[in-house]
Amino acid sequence: MHKPRGVLLSGPPGTGKTLIARTISEILNVKPKIVRGPEVFSRFLGESEEKIRSLFADARYDQEKFGENSKLHIIIFDELDSICKRRTQTDASTRDNVQDSITAQLLTELDGLEPINNILIIGTTNMVETIDPALLRPGRIDLVIDVPLPDDDARLHIFDICTKQLLQNGLMESDVDIQTIIQTTNGLTGSHIEKIVRLAIINAMRRDILSRGRLNITEEESEQLRVCNEDFKEALQKVLFAERTEL
């Protein structure tokens, strides 16, 4: 079976692609090199080929030195679509030269004369159709994994992860209507759920401070904080409202 040299995590914003890329690296016990799409142009300007080459240099060095026994290297290209845009006939004249040279260099590295077997490329994108298809051909970043919007079960699971510490510390009131939160967040992402929990905690803290009438709260008092259904309801409304006005 052919080993994938690269995988592309593709899905809507906030579904956990960057988190998954980092988690894969953690599970494989590798400290990844991370290239964030939007930062590339300021960081790589004028020396983009060299920068891309240097990303692969450690892996090449290890492979030459240790061969089969080389340790695994991971490069994460976060928001790959903004690094390697598809070339279209219409925008050929206005294409960004930096983008072109980064894409070309990346292809060179992936195809290299000496194939590199000790590297895993993880790309993330929410616009797979805008990525230069040359990058996604067999032997390159040829495994595309869909990261879809979470269904009810997945949202419940994410909610559980986000509230685990609250529960463990006994800070979550039993009146929290988890079912309603899960149903109302249909169509939203893990990132929204995380935000709802964060806002609910802030609401509870605000309520606590207001009821005490002072800002300096002792450690014992902070342990009495309770995040209740009302805090979640308010947080949910805020996130839903922000979502609707953004559309």
Exactly one of 121, 185, 190, 227 binds ligand ATP (CB under 6 A); that residue is: 190
Under rule CB under 6 A, residue 13 binds ligand ATP: yes
DSSP string, 152-176: HHHHHHHHHHHHHHHHHTT-B-TT-
- The option from Mg ion, ligand ATP, none interacting with 194 (CB < 5 to 8 A, set by class) reads ligand ATP
Name all contacts of 91-100 with Cβ < 8 Å and 24+ positions apart: 96/41, 98/40, 98/41, 98/44, 98/45, 98/48
Asked if 39 touches ligand ATP (CB under 6 A), the answer is no
- Whole-Å CA distances, 219 to 199, 202, 203, 204: 21, 17, 18, 16
Q: Sign of torsion, CA 47 50 56 59? A: negative
Q: Which is nearer to ligand ATP, 110 or 123 (CB)?
A: 123
**Residues touching ligand ATP, count (CB under 6 A):** 15
Min separation Cβ 162 and ligand ATP, Å: 7
187: partner contacted, choices Mg ion, ligand ATP, none (Cβ within 5-8 A by kind): none
Longest dimension (CA), the chain: 70
18 touches Mg ion by CB under 5 A: yes
What CA–CA distance (Å, rounded) separates 73 from 19?
18
- x-or-dash pattern for ligand ATP, window 146-165, by CB under 6 A? ------------x--x----
**Residue 158 — φ and ψ, nearest 5°?**
-65, -40
Which positions from 55 through 114 interact with ligand ATP, judged by CB under 6 A?
Answer: none
Interface pick for ligand ATP out of 108, 184, 191, 229 (rule CB under 6 A)? 191
At 120, phi and psi to the nearest 5?
Answer: -125, 125
Please report, as residue ranges, which positions from 107 to 146 form the binding site for ligand ATP (by CB under 6 A).
Answer: 124, 126
**Which residue's CB is nearer to Mg ion, number 48 or number 190?**
190
Q: Identify whether the C-beta of residue 114 lies closer than 8 Å to the C-beta of residue 67.
A: no
Total of residues contacting Mg ion (CB under 5 A): 1
DSSP string, 170-209: T-B-TT--HHHHHHHTTT--HHHHHHHHHHHHHHHHHHHH
- The residue of the chain with the least Cβ separation from ligand ATP equals 190
Considering only CA atoms, which of 99, 246, 106, 229 is closest in space to residue 172? Answer: 229
Residue type, 124: T
Stretch that binds Mg ion, among 18-26, 38-46, 165-173, 231-239 (CB under 5 A): 18-26
Find the shortest distance in angstroms from Cβ 154 to ligand ATP.
Answer: 7
User: Which 19-38 residues touch ligand ATP, going by CB under 6 A?
Assistant: 19
Which of ligand ATP, Mg ion, none does residue 67 bind (CB under 5 to 8 Å by kind)? none
Residues that bind ligand ATP (CB under 6 A): 13-19, 124, 126, 158, 161, 189-191, 194
Residues that bind Mg ion (CB under 5 A): 18
